[in-house]
Amino acid sequence: MKISVLKEKDCKVVNWANGTSTELFVFPADGNFQTRDFTFRISTATVEAEETTFSDFFSLTRILMILEGNINLIHEGRYTKQLAPFDQDTFDGSWPTKSQGKVRDFNVMFKENVEGKVAHFAMNAGESELFSLFGTHDFFFVQNGFFRFTDLELQKNDLLIIDREETESIDLECLEAGDLVKVEILLK
């Protein structure tokens, strides 16, 4: 099992028409978001306009989870969904999609040979949680709070990265109440 922590200051931030996007992780490591040459990508983004049209991400599945704010997600000709903090929606990246509302969100995008899951966990100070690991890659993003895993301390916007070959579990200790976003990526 290989474990590392990515700090926010080490992430690539790019501006887009209505906000910013922070790339937390891309696989493979030399993957390129601009050319869509990657297997999966994890990022956060701000939406700073009241109304936004999503980019076309043909051949990618998207999981969008709201971290801050509220959004009305409109998949034209399909459905509309209201999302509050830690609500999520999974959809085809090629769907014509618009949104209403200013938010900070968490995004996972992946190709068809990948299965992805995203879950939210709220923890109180002094709690410890044993998390089972199911993916070939598992991630824990700290939305807020302060956490510890063995000798690694995790704070707001840190990403704990776990690459492994067999089913295991990890024990995370919450030092200051907060919210974690767990991502499981399974390469098929």
Q: What is the pLDDT of residues 121-130, one digit of tens each?
A: 999 999 999 9
> Rg of the chain's alpha carbons, rounded to an integer?
16
CATH class given for the domain over 115-187 = mainly beta
The hierarchical CATH code for the domain 8-112 is 2.60.120.10
- Name the band, by pLDDT with cuts 50, 70 and 90, for residue 165: confident
Task: Count the neighbouring beta carbons within 10 Å of the beta carbon of residue 76.
Answer: 11
| Residue 10 φ then ψ, to 5° | -95, 5
Where do you find CATH 2.60.120.10 in the chain?
A: 8-112, 115-187
d(CA 57, CA 66): 19
pLDDT digits (tens, 9 = 90+) for 85-95: 999 999 999 99
Model confidence, pTM: 0.95
Interstrand relation of 97-100 and 79-83 (parallel, antiparallel or unpaired): unpaired
Residue 59 identity? S
Summarize pLDDT for 108-124 with one digit per residue, the tens: 999 999 999 999 999 99
Nearest Cα to Cα of residue 39 among 136, 160, 106: 136
